[in-house]
């Protein structure tokens, strides 16, 4: 595996999730695999979970890991044929090639502008980085996807149910800031690839990009969508159609114990960070059916499964 940026980079999402669960049982069993290897993690925007869990995954495999907050340095230029006489100090061509000298694997977290839809959805920054890096690249969340999160979510669902096709509902919820669609896009493509019984619910105007949604049912009535659900996966996203806009902050979409009572004793999932009593009521987040901390725990084993595959094929 030379890159991990989307579910399409692998052929066997269920098998990869099983590998992560096997690693969870014995996290230090492959402590020699990464010996004398270095992983560099570059963050162009903030992170708690991704940074620490990916670092821990590398450490469990015996790697050295260097994390860098790349947003604090100078700005990089990503465009070609440009006169670099403004604020951008270094071109991606040199930056990616240089980081590749220090790393056997590079992890990179990029971000969407939420203003330029076409550029964001071309995953421009991640693609440019991969183009000029000479070692395997792992996406630590890009403008439009968050594959390590989605793999951890699949691992969490698999370990919580014996059903082959549980009903999984992706529900929009309100948020005061304009957030990317990355987590939701990615969750959809991984649930489709794992053949889960996926339903999407959101207010009108929050339709996600069609190439992600495909034939997944979209139900605008949240209560109806929740009926019989085994898992409620909640996430806010800004509008795709009116790109990057917050169309409403309707508190009727907050996940409450009353809403969860409509499900099949459903489990509550969220990638975190989460705004209490905006996205989800305390009673759900602190209740026995909340999986959010286990999801965060599984981030380590998801990352470890991906890194182990890369190391085995280097």
133 versus 271: smaller Cβ distance to ligand CP: 271
Calculate ∠ Cα 98-101-102, nearest 5°: 105
Residues 6+ apart with CB under 8 A from 177: 246
Q: For the CB of residue 264, give the shortest distance to ligand CP in the complex, in Å.
A: 26
By CB under 6 A, tell whether 149 contacts ligand CP. Answer: yes
Measure the CA–CA gap between 33 and 29, rounded to whole angstroms.
9
Shortest Å distance, C-beta 222 to ligand AN0: 19
- Residue 201 interacts, among ligand AN0, ligand CP, none and using kind-specific CB cut-offs from 5 to 8 Å, with none
Pick the binder of ligand CP from 39, 105, 170, 271 (CB under 6 A): 271
CA atoms of 260 and 275, how far apart (whole Å): 18
Q: Can you give the length of the chain in residues?
A: 314
The token pair at 150 is 């989605």
Q: Could you give the string, one character per residue 47-76, with x where binding to ligand CP holds by CB under 6 A and - elsewhere?
A: xxxx--------------------------
Task: Report angle CA 291, 228, 6 to the nearest 5 degrees.
Answer: 55
Q: Can you tell me which of 10, 66, 178, 272 binds ligand CP, judged by CB under 6 A? A: 272
Instruction: For ligand CP, give the closer residue by CB, 219 or 272.
Output: 272
Residue number with CB closer to ligand CP (66 or 262): 66
Q: Is 144 in the site for ligand CP (CB under 6 A)?
A: no
Q: Cβ 181 to ligand CP, closest distance in Å?
A: 14
Q: How far apart are CA 297 and CA 193, in angstroms?
A: 23
Q: In whole angstroms, what is the distance from residue 264 CA to residue 153 CA?
A: 19
Q: Judge whether 290 and 268 are in contact, CB under 8 Å.
A: yes
- Interface with ligand AN0 (CB under 6 A): 146, 179-180, 182-183, 271, 273
Of 44-52, 65-73, 165-173, 207-215, which part binds ligand CP (CB under 6 A)?
44-52
Contact of 237 with 201, CB cutoff 8 Å:
no
Nearer to ligand AN0, 182 or 208 (CB): 182
The DSSP letter of residue 218 is E
Site residues, ligand CP (CB under 6 A): 47-50, 141, 149, 271-272
């Amino acid at each position: 595996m030379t890159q991990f940026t989307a579910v399409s980079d692998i052929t066997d999402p269920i098998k990869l999730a099983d590998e992560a669960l096997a690693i969870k049982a014995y996290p230090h069993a492959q402590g020699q695999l990464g010996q004398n290897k270095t992983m560099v993690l570059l963050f162009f925007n903030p992170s708690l979970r991704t940074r620490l869990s990916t670092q821990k995954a590398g450490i469990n495999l015996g790697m050295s890991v260097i994390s860098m907050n790349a947003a604090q340095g100078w700005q990089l230029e990503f465009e070609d044929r440009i006169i670099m006489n403004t604020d951008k100090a270094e071109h991606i061509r040199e930056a990616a090639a240089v980081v590749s000298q220090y790393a056997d694997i590079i992890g990179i977290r990029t971000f969407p502008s939420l203003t330029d839809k076409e550029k964001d959805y071309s995953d421009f920054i991640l693609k440019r980085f991969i183009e000029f890096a000479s070692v395997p690249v792992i996406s630590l969340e890009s403008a439009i996807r968050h594959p390590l999160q989605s793999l951890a979510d699949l691992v969490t669902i698999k370990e919580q149910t014996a059903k082959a096709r549980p009903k999984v509902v992706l529900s929009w919820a309100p948020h005061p800031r304009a957030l990317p669609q990355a987590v939701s896009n990615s969750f959809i493509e991984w649930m489709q690839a794992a053949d889960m019984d996926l339903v999407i619910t959101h207010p009108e105007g929050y339709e996600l990009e069609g190439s992600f949604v495909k034939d997944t049912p979209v139900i605008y009535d949240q209560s109806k969508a929740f009926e019989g659900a085994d898992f409620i996966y909640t996430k806010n996203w800004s509008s795709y159609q009116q790109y990057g806009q917050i169309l409403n902050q309707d508190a009727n979409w907050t996940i409450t114990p009353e809403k969860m009572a409509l499900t099949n004793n459903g489990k509550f999932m969220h990638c975190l960070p989460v705004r209490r009593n905006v996205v989800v009521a305390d009673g759900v987040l602190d209740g026995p059916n909340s999986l959010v901390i286990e999801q965060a725990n599984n981030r380590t084993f998801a990352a470890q499964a991906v890194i182990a595959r890369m190391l085995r094929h280097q």
